[in-house]
Each structure stands twice: as structure tokens, then as C-alpha cells.
Structure 1
């Protein structure tokens, strides 16, 4: 546990001292702030609520859910370069490795959310920022990370090369499109709204909206309710499923790793470059 914690903090610090990774930390939040700037004065229908105010909490939830993609990409890259094999070779190495990834990915996500949230509160306005709201924000974020990061670990174990990560990106973009991020899910056709509500992305967005928006904004939600109990139930189910499956899948993946497979993947990568 101590080694995994230290590993995660080292990786987190490195991500903020590395040029390309530093750009990635700021690029997406800045693009979202630009989108919010153009939405800040647009109303949602006849409700009188600003579309920018409805979108900011949803974008925060989407960013938290995208942690599963980051986790998947990191695990896939570590399989290719032999990092996962080295972790398997030492006592309790896999446990320390997974903990380190959780610490680094979750820490990076929290910083990314702060980069977006703090300017966004001033740019858009109209948010509720009392102690109870921040408490809701905290438990939704923690539960959302527990629900999504194990899924990322599973996906990183399934896909064997970094080139195959595109197979994850496309479905994620589709889920984001129907999850009520940029427009309330009640404006979508009923069957699409039901599909969107099966994913953790929607419930993270809903939980963030319930934390930051004033109570009267609930009229744009399904059933005119923030549905906190349903949020806990759905995210909890995703968390339990991920926590049960991820260790099994990771152990099977680690058992299949060998020096010859790492060398074979390295040769294929060199041939692609050449």
C-alpha cells in the first residue's frame, strides 16, 4: 500500500512536469470553458435557466467518467512496454501497481476538474455553493470514480495495444452524446434517454447538477427530481461490478504476460515506426 501510494504521487507529479501531459491537463478544460462562454446567455426553452449553468456540472461529471478511458490507456501502454510484467515479478507488485494508477489518475482528474470548475463558476454564474452542496459534490465525485476507474482497468486489460484504444473512444463519444451533458436528457427521444440512464456518465452529470444548481433547476430533470437514491444505486452497482471483476481480469492478464510477448509487441511497434 505504501509503495503504491508513493508510486501514484510520483506519477502524478511527473504528469505536471511533462510538457505534453501538461498540455493535455489544460487543453480539454480550456475548450470546455470556450463552449460555456458561448452558452452562458442561452436559455433552455422557456424555463429561464441558462444552458451554460446546466452544462457546467454535466461536463464535470463527464470529465470524471472519462477517467476510465485514461486508466485504460495507461494500462494498455504499460502492457506494451513491459511495466506490467515487472510489477508482476515482485511481491504484491500488482496491488501496488493498481493502487498507484488509481492515485495518479484520480489525482489528475481532481486537478483537471478544478481547472474547469473554478473559472466556470465565475464565467457562468447562478450556482449554489453552500456547505451541503459541496458535500454532495464530494460524495458524487468519490462514488463516480470508484464506479468508473475499475471499468477502465478492465478495458485496459482487454485491449492489447495502444492502437486499439480507438475502439473505446468511439463508444464513449456516443454515450456522452446521449447522456444529457450538453443538453438535458429530457429533450432526447424516450428510448435514447433510457439508454443514457443505464450509463454512469448520466448519473455523474445528474449528481453534479444536484450539487451545484439551485433547487428550482430540478424542473428540467426526469421526474422533476435529483434522484439521489437512484444515483447511489446505479453508481454503486457499477462500482461493485467493477471492483469484483477488475482484480480477476487483471490477474489473468498478468499471468499471460511474459518477456517474449513484450519483446514481440516491441518488435511490431518498431516495424510500424520503420
Structure 2
């Protein structure tokens, strides 16, 4: 009894750590469930399988006279694109669970919002890492010419991926807070697809007009793709990049700016969204959803 009282006293004295631990546990459970639920498992496998199919047909095509294969160039870029898509996943999750009342229930619990957001970050980030492994491991067997045999390659992958998730997941949380229903998600996906199209994912960005290259370099998707290419492509592949350089410092700087902006704004936007949540608002959204289904 004394031990239990001591634990309760520590929890009451440090509610933040209690909320973070609860969020971690929740995130791990949700992540594990996503690999045992049929629908979620399909979502984990579908996109990597589609990308591997595209890579298979690109694997023997050369980019211009560079001697580099498009499949070799594209695989690391797709890894970067998948990491950036975490902001879409985060946005979709927050919007859906705001609509069904999950966020309202979290708001009603002491430390519930902090725990909820922590759990979602763990779930989405863990799912991204798993999806990247599902794509990368068979991709390395399918695609020739990758330089993945050194510790430096994997170290670069680690810091680019970690910084990329810091840059994109808070932005996803902000976007998810702005839309009251899942119908608004199309407004997010279309701009993201446009950014992917100009960010050098499936074809080197240097083949685009200069003004499009400038726009691409303002997005985290381009820098995630560049960082991944620097991790897995041979040294001579840098000739198809802007300024013939992997630009690691610029990659860290731009992703760092996105991360700083997102981490500064996300708590403010989430608190504002949580304050506006109410039972009547959830009921109204459910009623509208039922009307659309009917």
C-alpha cells in the first residue's frame, strides 16, 4: 500500500512524465495492432508494393547520358517521399479522430491531450519506419548500383529520417487541426502530390526549369529525397544534383527550419483546436457524416 501511495504521489507530482509514459504505451499498442489488423496491414503493404512495381519497370532505364539508372536514382528518393508523407498520415488521423470524438475524450482526461499526441507521434513514426523497411529491403535486392555497404550510409539515413520526421509530423498535426472533417483532406493531398511532382522524386530535379527548382527547394520533400540519395547513391551520382553537391548542411538547415516552425506552431494550434471541441460539435459532425452516407 505504501509503495502504491508513493507511485501515485510521484505521478501527481510529475503529470507531464505520466502523460508521456501513457502516450508511449498507447502509441506502441496502436502500432502493434496496425500489423495485426487486416485493413491496416494492407495499407502498410500496398504503397511499398506499388512503388516496387514502378521501380521494377524503371530499373534498366538510363537518365540521359549520365550512365545512371532511373531505378537507382528513384529508390532513395521514394524513401524520402514516404517519410514526408507522414505529415499526410498525421493529418488524416487527427481529422478522423476529431470527427469521431476521440479527441474530445482525450481532452476530458487530465494530461489527455499530451498523452494523445505523444501516442500518435509514436504510432505514425513507427509505421513510417516499418514502411520504409518494407520498401528498402526488397528494393536493395531489386535495384543495382546502390552504395549501401558503409556505416556512413546508414548514419546519413538515420539523421535525415529523424530530422525529416521532426520537420513533417508537426506540420501534419497543424493541418489535421485545421479541418473539422475528413472531407477536407483532399485539400491537403493535392498540394502534397504537386510538391512530389516537382521535387525530383521520380526524375532528377535538374531536368526541371529553374523556377520550379526554386519552388521545390522550399519544400521538405525535396530535401528528404536529396538526403536519402546522398545516403544510398554512389559518389558520381552527385553530378545530376543541383550544384553537383549533396548539400548536407543545407539539408540540415532547411529541415531544421521546418522542424522549428512546426514545433513552435503545433502546440498552439492543437491547444486552440482542443478548446473548441465540444460534445455538440462532435454530434453535429456525426450527423453530417450520416447524412452523406444516407
Q: Does 1:242 align with 2:278?
A: no
Q: Provide the secondary structure at the position in 2 that maps to 1:160.
A: coil
Which deviations, in whole Å up to 9, do the C-alpha atoms of 1:215-247 show, x marking residues without a partner?
A: 111000000000000000000000000000000
TM-score (norm 2): 0.92
Counterpart CA distance in 2 for 1:159 and 1:170 is 15
Which deviations, in whole Å up to 9, do the C-alpha atoms of 1:126-145 show, x marking residues without a partner?
A: 11121011000000000000
Q: 1:223 aligns with which of 243, 262, 280?
A: 243
Mapping of residues 1-274 of structure 1, within 5 Å = 1-129=20-148, 130-274=150-294
- Unaligned residue ranges in structure 2 (runs of 5+): 1-19
The alpha-carbon deviation at position 87 of structure 1 amounts to 0.7
Which deviations, in whole Å up to 9, do the C-alpha atoms of 1:165-218 show, x marking residues without a partner?
A: 011111111000000000000000110111011000000000000000111110
The alpha-carbon deviation at position 21 of structure 1 amounts to 1.3
Counterpart CA distance in 2 for 1:6 and 1:102 is 12
Counterpart CA distance in 2 for 1:153 and 1:19 is 26
Counterpart CA distance in 1 for 2:202 and 2:55 is 10
* Residue-pair matches, total: 274
Residue range with higher mean Cα deviation, 241-250 or 80-89? 80-89
Which deviations, in whole Å up to 9, do the C-alpha atoms of 1:7-46 show, x marking residues without a partner?
A: 1011111111111111111011001001100111111111
Counterpart CA distance in 2 for 1:219 and 1:102 is 36
Residue range with higher mean Cα deviation, 240-249 or 258-267? 258-267
Counterpart CA distance in 2 for 1:225 and 1:125 is 22
Counterpart CA distance in 1 for 2:108 and 2:181 is 21
Counterpart CA distance in 2 for 1:102 and 1:125 is 34
Which deviations, in whole Å up to 9, do the C-alpha atoms of 1:87-106 show, x marking residues without a partner?
A: 11111111111110000000
Residue range with higher mean Cα deviation, 18-27 or 142-151? 18-27
Which deviations, in whole Å up to 9, do the C-alpha atoms of 1:105-155 show, x marking residues without a partner?
A: 000010100010001111012111210110000000000000000000000
